[in-house]
Amino acid sequence: MSPLALFNLEGRKALVTGASRGIGQAIAVALAGAGADVAITARNASSLGETSAAIEALGRQVVALAHDVRDVAGSRTVVERAAEDLGGLDIVVNNAGYEEVTPSLDIEEDVWDRVVDTNLKGAFFVAQAAARRMQADGRGGAIVNLASLTSYVGVPTAVPYGSSKAGILGMTQALATEWAGLGIRVNAVAPGYFRTAMTDVFYRNDAWQTSMLAKIPLGRFGALDDLAGAVIFLASDASAYVTGQCIPVDGGYLASI
């Protein structure tokens, strides 16, 4: 097989959660661009129109589904629906995420639950439902979880978020070792500083931008397309012998601290 063919996702069936905008949208469209048919989810299905149109423009099948990943029973239903409508399931990207910037002394239980249940509990039960389906189909697959720089470093006012993303790293490693025998690889990507709707509050502060850019060796914030290669690599045969790993996509930030 040629090196380029290793990255070809033609005939693969993917599910991307939280795909209405930002990172999730970019990943879903990138997978379609590599040849995959894609099921996409968001809490409100009407918000998936732009992503759906971009996937269809690439000539790929798209299935848009409403789902809040905190709904565990709903995760099982959505995974089954995606697999049935697409004709199987080979790739899952756990992108759905939530953050509330709150000083740790002010965090209430409901804030903790919203963040951790979305980012960690939600990702696990989507992955579990997908693995059950992949096992039943006997086709194996690739699961890619969205970790974060906060999986590795502490960020003030982001304690629930950082806790959930550190949990994603541990979950990725544990599932990779447990599911390898099923032919299911589990990896993660850890985006660095990307401006999205969820992180925009930080980028409104010019002093913060100047300070942060000074810490990134490549000297710029991430563009959404910067994530495409890492995710396609982990979803494709190019990473057939890679599991339990996390790839930081951060412009060199972690390497420099």
Give the pair of three-digit tokens for residue 39: 């099921």
Residue type, 24: G
Catalytic residue list contains 253:
no
Catalytic site residue from 152, 161, 193, 253: 161
3-state helix, strand, coil in the chain (%, to 5): 50, 15, 35
How far is the C-alpha of 237 from the C-alpha of 242, rounded, in Å? Answer: 10
Nearest to 188 by CA among 226, 243, 252: 243
Name residue 15's beta-bridge partners.
Answer: 39, 92
Is the Cβ–Cβ distance between 26 and 225 less than 8 Å?
yes
Instruction: Please give the positions annotated as active site.
Output: 161
